[in-house]
């Protein structure tokens, strides 16, 4: 699920930190953040944030457990627009205010 925040006036790291997310790393202009829901590290909300001038695009999903490697890599994430992801996006829309919308 994706949120767009237009005319952002706050540093994206500060904004997402205020929402309970922890910065992980940056790659190719995208910043990765997580909000852990259990002491074991999973499940957790995971997002990628990209700033384009004054518009911040944030893509969210729920990691149910750590990805696995083998002959193929499997990512155990939920990307649906319902359930816990939908609830988290609703919480964030309230926090981010009128400049934020679902894309």
pLDDT tens column, 18-54: 999 999 999 999 999 999 999 989 999 999 999 999 9
**What integer pLDDT is reported at residue 79 of this predicted model?**
65
57-68 burial, b if ≥16 CB within 10 A, otherwise e? bbebbbbeeeee
Taking the mean position of all CA atoms in its chain, how far away is CA 99?
A: 17
64 — pLDDT class (breaks 50, 70, 90): confident
Confidence (pTM): 0.86
Q: Are 49 and 65 in contact (CB under 8 A)?
A: no
């Amino acid at each position: 699920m994706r949120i767009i925040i237009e005319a952002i006036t706050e540093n994206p790291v500060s904004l997402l930190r205020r929402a309970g997310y922890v910065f992980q790393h940056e790659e190719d202009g995208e910043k990765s953040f997580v909000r852990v829901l259990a002491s074991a590290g999973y499940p957790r909300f995971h997002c990628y944030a990209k700033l384009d001038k004054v518009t911040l695009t944030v893509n969210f999903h729920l990691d149910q457990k750590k990805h696995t490697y083998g002959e193929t890599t499997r990512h155990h994430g939920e990307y649906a627009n319902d359930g816990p992801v939908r609830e988290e996006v609703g919480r964030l829309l309230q926090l981010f205010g009128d400049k934020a919308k679902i894309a």
